[in-house]
Amino acid sequence: MNGFVIAASILSADFTRLGQEIAVCESAGADWIHVDVMDGHFVPNITMGPFIVEACKRVTKLPLDVHLMIEKPEQYLEAFAKAGASGLTVHVETCPQLDQTLLEIKSLGCRAGVVLNPETPVRQIESVLALADLVLVLSVHPGFSGGKFIPESAAKVADLRRKLDALGSSAWLEVDGGINAETLPKMKEAGATAFVAASAIFKHPQGILAGVQALRAQLKNKNHGAAAP
Ligand code: DX5
Ligand code: ZN
């Protein structure tokens, strides 16, 4: 781990070949597997539950980064932790007692993450920033992979970077939605440290291996946004 991680979101995987596709991600150098859990209420789509997390756990050693786009996430934390989640990320919009929910995630032995929808201001999570192990900025409207990247998300990442640094927090600052070889450098420049990608990996025209490698290549480039030497 080099301080930056690529999280492959299986939302765009071929589910008839999920095990093989996760294995390719792993051998290509993906750091985490991102699992998008949707309930058809909080977002207009229904996807996966603990059963899929448990299946992923059996085929990979990579940490499972579980993004809960569901109402009442506190009712399902234990099931996802038992299924093998390494991190559980809950939406501020769904958690009336966000601090307690984050503490419960930690007590289950998981990395506690909080995520903001694109229209939710940073101030809504300010009081829990010191508690969070991961802060996720959604750079698309949640529900589907392949959405349009929202450029204003970069300012939100920069704001969170300043706030996390001021707190002395080493929390991951993750971005999710429309991340590809063009948008990743902008988000890295803004201060993000973890990059989720579904389509850029699983729908890459040259395949999954090339998709992961194209993102990794951007992490190695140290000149993002810098003036030409
Ligand atoms: C959006 C999900 C994302 C999604 C990203 O609701 O949280 O993780 O899979 O897909 P891409 O990378 O295709 O925008
Ligand atoms: Zn996600």
State pLDDT tens for residues 94-120: 999 999 999 999 999 999 999 999 999
pLDDT tens for each residue of 163-216: 999 999 999 999 999 999 999 999 999 999 999 999 999 999 999 999 999 999
Q: Which atom of ligand 1 is nearest to the CA of 138?
A: 7
CA distances from 184 to 16, 56, 155, 174, 179 (A): 29, 26, 14, 11, 6
Atom 6 (ligand 1) nearest CA: 142
- H helices present in the chain, as ranges: 18-28, 50-59, 77-83, 98-107, 153-167, 183-190, 199-202, 208-220
| Helix, strand, or coil (residue 182) | coil
pLDDT in tens, 20-55: 999 999 999 999 999 999 999 999 999 999 999 999
Residue nearest atom 1 of ligand 1, based on CA coordinates: 142
Alpha-carbon distance of 101 to 213, in angstroms, equals 35
Q: What residues are annotated to the active site?
A: 36, 176
Ligand 1: does its nearest atom lie under 6 Å from the Cβ of 198? yes
> pLDDT for 5-18, tens place per residue?
999 999 999 999 99
Q: Is the CB of 146 under 6 A from ligand 1?
A: yes
13 ligand 1 Cβ < 6 A: no
Helix intervals (H) in 84-228: 98-107, 153-167, 183-190, 199-202, 208-220
Residue where the block lists tokens 């690529």? 6
> Is 183's C-beta closer than 6 angstroms to any atom of ligand 1?
no
* Contact criterion met (CB below 8 Å) for 49 and 66: no
Buried b (16+ CB within 10 A) or exposed e, 79-110: ebbebbbbbbbbbbbbbeebeebbebbeeeeb
Percent of the chain with pLDDT over 90: 95
For residues 71-85, give the mean pLDDT: 98
Q: Residue 139 CA: which ligand 1 atom is closest?
A: 14
Residue 72 binned pLDDT confidence (cut-offs 50, 70, 90): very high
121: Cβ–Cβ under 8 A, 6 or more apart, which residues?
none
Give the pLDDT of residue 221.
78
Give burial (CB, 10 Å; 0-12/13-18/19+) of 75.
exposed
> Which residue's alpha carbon is at the smallest distance from atom 10 of ligand 1?
145
Q: Which ligand 1 atom is the nearest neighbour of the CA of 38?
A: 6
- Of 144, 202, 204, 208, the one to substitute when testing ligand 1's pocket (max ligand atoms within 8 A of C-beta) is 144
Give, in order, the Cα–Cα distances in Å from 43 to each of 71, 144, 149: 9, 9, 17
For ligand 1, say whether the CB of 65 is within 6 Å of any of its atoms: no
